[in-house]
């Protein structure tokens, strides 16, 4: 039985021009870029409202390559292995918020569009980090990790549907909707399942993709081999 669902909609946003300029990773900085970033920040700061929703969900019915979380079936051997000794997990969705879509930047203005996109990503990361810290504090957790549908072939993006099913009307709760192709709107949103773990795990460790702005850990062939043996 699920005991808690909570919406976090008072997430602090701390952005400054220098942090954004560093994140842009431009080869050359110019006065015009600095001006664009400052103008965008003046528009973003008053309206930015990142949000997250999570559910305390209990894990059961563990099989070879599937398990049930919050009464909903998921299929993933990697997820099954990671939650082998876990009884309670935390499905979630976090977003930069729909409010930033009010800022109209034509896609033809590539530089300004890129700057705004970068700011949205930074705010989304703040929301996800805030949620992670909140879960650790609130539920007296030690080390926690997360998996997200679509990050690994073993857990495809179609598994967004059961994840959203656990959380209910996510669009009503925090403004995030799931499209027919299992993508989220706003685009700068992330979903997944947090879970306690003894050794830190990141899906990135099993993903060989060379270029990825979301990479949080290097690819680990040794870990891939260990999972492969457990999956046999």
CATH number for the domain harbouring residue 154: 3.40.109
Q: How much is the pTM?
A: 0.84
* 78/155 Cα distance (integer angstroms): 8
Residues 6+ apart with CB under 8 A from 170: 53, 93, 164, 176, 177, 178
Q: 4-8, 27-31, 109-113: which has the minimum mean pLDDT? A: 27-31
* 116/13 Cα distance (integer angstroms): 15
SS3 assignment, position 82: helix
Q: Is residue 202 part of a domain?
A: yes
Q: Is residue 164 part of a domain?
A: yes
pLDDT band at 225 (very low <50, low <70, confident <90, very high): low
Strands (E) in 87-153, as ranges, are 88-95, 144-147
Task: Determine the pLDDT at residue 32.
Answer: 92
Domain that holds residue 180: 4-9+50-108+121-231
Report CA 166 to chain centroid distance, whole Å: 16
Specify whether the CB–CB gap between 120 and 96 falls below 8 A. Answer: yes
End-to-end CA distance of the chain: 32
Q: Is residue 29 part of a domain?
A: no
Average pLDDT, integer, range 48-52:
98
pLDDT band at 9 (very low <50, low <70, confident <90, very high): very high
Q: Is residue 33 part of a domain?
A: no
Q: Is residue 35 part of a domain?
A: no
Q: Is residue 185 part of a domain?
A: yes
DSSP type of residue 155: B
* 105/95 Cα distance (integer angstroms): 20
Q: Is residue 39 part of a domain?
A: no
The pLDDT tens digits for 164-207 are 999 999 999 999 999 999 999 999 999 999 999 875 565 566 66
Residue-averaged pLDDT of the chain:
89
Number of structural domains in the chain: 1
Q: Is residue 44 part of a domain?
A: no
The pLDDT tens digits for 147-158 are 999 988 999 999
Specify whether the CB–CB gap between 19 and 122 falls below 8 A. Answer: yes
Average pLDDT, integer, range 132-156:
94
The pLDDT tens digits for 183-195 are 999 999 999 999 9
């Amino acid at each position: 039985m699920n005991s808690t669902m909570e919406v976090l909609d008072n997430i602090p946003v701390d952005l400054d021009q220098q942090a954004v300029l560093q994140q842009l990773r431009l080869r050359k900085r110019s006065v015009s870029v600095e001006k664009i970033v400052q103008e965008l920040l003046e528009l973003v700061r008053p309206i930015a409202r990142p949000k997250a929703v999570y559910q305390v969900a209990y894990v059961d019915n563990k099989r070879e390559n599937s398990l049930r979380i919050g009464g909903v079936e998921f299929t993933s051997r990697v997820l099954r292995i990671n939650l082998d000794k876990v009884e309670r997990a935390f499905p979630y969705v976090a977003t930069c918020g729909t409010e930033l879509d009010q800022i109209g930047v034509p896609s033809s203005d590539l530089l300004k569009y890129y700057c705004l996109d970068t700011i949205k990503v930074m705010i989304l990361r703040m929301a996800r980090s805030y949620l992670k810290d909140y879960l650790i504090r609130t539920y007296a957790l030690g080390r926690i990790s997360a998996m997200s549908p679509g990050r690994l072939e073993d857990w495809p993006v179609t598994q967004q549907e059961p994840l959203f099913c656990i959380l209910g009307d996510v669009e009503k709760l925090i403004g995030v909707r799931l499209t027919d192709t299992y993508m989220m709107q706003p685009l700068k949103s992330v979903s997944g399942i947090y879970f306690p773990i003894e050794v830190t795990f990141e899906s990135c460790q099993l993903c060989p993709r060379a270029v990825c702005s979301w990479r949080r850990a290097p690819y680990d062939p040794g870990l891939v081999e260990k999972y492969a043996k457990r999956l046999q």
